[in-house]
Amino acid sequence: MATNRTFTMIKPDAFGAGNSGAILKMIEDAGFKVVAMKATKLTPELAGKFYEVHKERPFYADLCAYMSSGPIFAAILEKDNAVEDFRKLIGATNPADAAEGTIRKIFAKSIEANAVHGSDSDENATIEGNFFFNQAERVL
Ligand code: RTP
Ligand code: MG
């Protein structure tokens, strides 16, 4: 059964452009509740650890540099079928391929600077949420 939480980041491009509030509004309007949230800035080392699954991919070094280039919001979101529904809301990785009305279609600048992250499985949602938040920093 699908769990009801997912993990997201508002990436440096969207944070820097002042789009965090508008993105959060779309997330809440789609029925997600924020159960943990903070502004933070990743070091290159922490970004490398977070994206370790991608370490063999050609874009890994660029991605880690980009994700540590400015502040982000990290958040845990709650909704039925959270992982799948959130990935639908954000749209395809490359904004050129993202459906109309999706967060990436509206706010992403490029395939890398694509406004938001969304976990790709229940297992990764848990791992990624635990990467940023301890028990006292989230709604249990
Ligand atoms: P995310 O993990 O951020 O939600 O994105 P995703 O599942 O749609 O994409 P994924 O394959 O997991 O890639 C992670 C992030 O790496 C950057 N990327 N750059 N230059 C490229 O070809 C390329 N491909 C991916 C994007 O920032 C992507 O979100
Ligand atoms: Mg991914």
Model ipTM value:
0.95
Does 114 count as an annotated binding residue? yes
Q: Is 86 left (phi over 0), alpha (psi -120 to 50) or beta?
A: alpha
Nearest-CA residue for ligand 1 atom 17 is 112
State pLDDT tens for residues 58-107: 999 999 999 999 999 999 999 999 999 999 999 999 999 999 999 999 99
Ligand 1 atom, smallest distance to 93 CA: 8
Identified catalytic residue from 14, 67, 74, 117 = 117
Which residue's CA is the closest to the ligand 1 atom numbered 4?
117
Q: How far apart (Å, rounded) are the C-alpha atoms in residues 120 and 124?
A: 7
Six-digit token pair at 31? 């029925």
The structural domains of the chain, with segments of one domain joined by +, span: 5-137
- Domain spanning 5-137, CATH architecture: 2-Layer Sandwich (3.30)
Q: Active-site residue 117, yes or no?
A: yes
- Quickly list H helices, 12-114: 12-16, 20-29, 44-50, 60-67, 82-90, 103-107
> Among 1, 11, 7, 15, which Cα is nearest to 32's?
7
The neighbour count for residue 40, using CB atoms within 10 Å, is: 11
pLDDT grade for 3, boundaries at 50, 70 and 90: confident
Q: Dig out the tokens for 118 from the structure.
A: 């969304």
111 in contact with ligand 1, CB cutoff 6 A: yes
CB atoms within 10 A of CB 43: 10
